[in-house]
Amino acid sequence: MESNPEQFRVEDEVKLTLELKNVQTLYIKIFEFNTETYYKKTLKPFNTGVNLDGLIASTERVVEDFKDRPANKKYQETFNFPELANRVGLFIVEFIGNGLSARAVIKKGSLSMIHKPTVAGHLAYVLDENKKICSGEDTTGIFFDGNFYPANPERGGKVFIPYGKHTQTAKAILLHKGFA
């Protein structure tokens, strides 16, 4: 539904409202995506039409509270997802009922970057959704042109990307603790 948000903050409770008709049993599946692997492989924004065949849902539930509803009348139901509380990531929630399916892409958290050119290269910082600098040498940094440039926790989370031999344009993937 249009009233459902497209993005959630990490601490936000995830609630989705569906419009149902002639559904007695609703199957709900939640898939969690490894954003780092996805973005490194595709170098493209997340495709909401991603094929879920063969993937195993991290959570599944069956809701059978609709048996007393008239089959010819539309109604709205709101579903809560406490299993997504305080989690960062990209999730697909799939609803299946009466032979039809619908899905919602839930993005919890976000990363952004600030940078400036220096004499030797670009100096950058990876920021979380609260605009706080992320750090962690092994888990935080920028993947650019096939190379990983780590954030240096001893230098306040600075990421240094040296200039190449030639001017180039490439996509950068921001990483922090497995989230991209």
Tens-digit pLDDT profile for residues 122-173: 999 999 999 999 987 678 999 988 889 999 888 889 999 998 777 777 888 9
pLDDT tens for each residue of 25-75: 899 999 998 889 888 888 888 887 888 888 888 999 999 887 788 878 888
Q: Which of 68, 92, 108 is the last residue of a domain?
A: 108
Dihedrals φ, ψ of 153, to 5°?
-65, -25
pLDDT interval class at 16 (50, 70, 90):
very high
Say which DSSP state 83 is in: G
Query: Residues 26, 97: contact at Cβ < 8 Å?
Result: yes
Judgement on whether residues 42 and 86 belong to the same structural domain of the protein: yes
Judgement on whether residues 103 and 138 belong to the same structural domain of the protein: no
Please state the pTM of the whole predicted model: 0.84
> 41 lies in a domain?
yes
Residue written as token pair 């922090």: 176
Judgement on whether residues 80 and 164 belong to the same structural domain of the protein: no
Query: Residues 29, 57: contact at Cβ < 8 Å?
Result: yes
Judgement on whether residues 104 and 133 belong to the same structural domain of the protein: no
Residue 98 belongs to domain spanning:
7-108
Looking only at the bridges linking them, the beta strands covering 89-97 and 100-108 are antiparallel
Judgement on whether residues 101 and 27 belong to the same structural domain of the protein: yes
| C-alpha span between 173 and 30 (Å, rounded) | 25
Judgement on whether residues 136 and 166 belong to the same structural domain of the protein: yes
